[in-house]
């Protein structure tokens, strides 16, 4: 245990110490008995207030660090969700496009409306579809899966068969499926 070293001048060399609560220094008996002068008490109070400010600063720093760790964990959780639903989400987007174009087996617009709501909800959660089915794009191996005939050179014209799925921050968790050739939209897309 640490000992409180300051002593009252009148009792110099005779102060006895008494145990203090765990985690604090031992305190001279005269302190316990209220024998400090006003100046000494003011000094002690300033020291205690300074220590309280230090502890508050340390607590705030710990809270900020915990917040950063929580944000990183939340980002990882979103990535995990995106990876888990990426392929079904891309397939659903493809089916919706087929239904709306009238070429699919499914003919119920209610399904398309429900899927649209799902897409909007996922976007709010940070999971985004990237590209429109049927749109032309320049092949990018980081955003597109190679077509069945082999991987084209980067920049080659392709048509999106399904959109990519990415998370906030731009990381692609599921690449678009593509076919070789120019698309109907004629513009650059995901």
Residue 167 lies in a domain: yes
d(CA 149, CA 139): 14
170, 145 contact by CB (below 8 A):
no
Residue 176 lies in a domain: yes
pLDDT band at 5 (very low <50, low <70, confident <90, very high): very low
Region 65-85 average pLDDT: 75
State the SS3 of the chain.
Answer: CCCCCCCCHHHCCCCCEECCCCCCCCEEHHHHCCCCCHHHHHHHHHHHHHHHHHHHHHHHHHHHHHHHHHHHHHHHHHHHHHHHHHHHHHHHHHHHHHHHHCCCCCCCHHHHHHHHHHHHHHHHCCEEEECCCCCEEECCCCCEECCCCCCCCCCCEEEEEECEEEECCCCEEECEEEEECCCCCCCCCC
pLDDT tens figures, 157-187: 999 999 999 988 889 999 999 998 865 444 4
User: How many domains is the chain built from?
Assistant: 1
Of 36-40, 51-55, 170-174, which gets the smallest average pLDDT?
36-40
- Judge whether residue 42 has pLDDT over 60: yes
Residue 27 lies in a domain: no
d(CA 87, CA 45): 64
Which residues partner with 162 through β-bridges? 177
pLDDT band at 36 (very low <50, low <70, confident <90, very high): low
Residue 129 lies in a domain: yes
Which residues partner with 159 through β-bridges? 136, 179
Instruction: State the pLDDT at residue 108.
Output: 64
pLDDT tens figures, 87-123: 777 777 777 787 777 766 565 666 776 677 778 778 8
Residue 173 lies in a domain: yes
Domain with 128, as residue range(s), is 86-180
Instruction: State the pLDDT at residue 144.
Output: 95
pLDDT tens figures, 7-24: 444 444 444 444 545 555
Residue 13 lies in a domain: no
Q: Which residue has the higher pLDDT, 45 or 12?
A: 45
Residue 50 lies in a domain: no
Residue 64 lies in a domain: no
């Amino acid at each position: 245990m640490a000992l409180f070293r300051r002593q009252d001048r009148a009792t110099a060399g005779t102060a006895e110490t008494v145990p203090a609560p765990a985690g604090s220094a031992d305190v001279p008996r005269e302190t316990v008995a209220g024998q400090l002068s006003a100046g000494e008490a003011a000094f002690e109070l300033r020291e205690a207030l300074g220590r309280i400010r230090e502890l508050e600063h340390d607590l705030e720093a710990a809270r900020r660090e915990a917040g950063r760790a929580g944000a990183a964990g939340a980002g990882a959780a979103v990535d995990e969700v995106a990876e888990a639903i990426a392929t079904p989400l891309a397939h659903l987007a493809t089916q919706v496009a087929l239904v709306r174009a009238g070429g699919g087996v499914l003919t119920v617009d209610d399904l398309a409306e429900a899927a649209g709501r799902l897409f909007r909800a996922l976007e709010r959660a940070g999971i985004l579809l990237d590209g429109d089915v049927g749109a032309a794009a320049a092949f990018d191996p980081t955003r597109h899966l190679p077509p069945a005939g082999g991987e084209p050179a980067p920049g080659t014209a392709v048509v999106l068969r399904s959109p990519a799925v990415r998370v906030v921050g731009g990381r692609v968790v599921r690449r678009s499926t593509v076919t070789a050739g120019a698309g109907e939209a004629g513009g650059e897309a995901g």
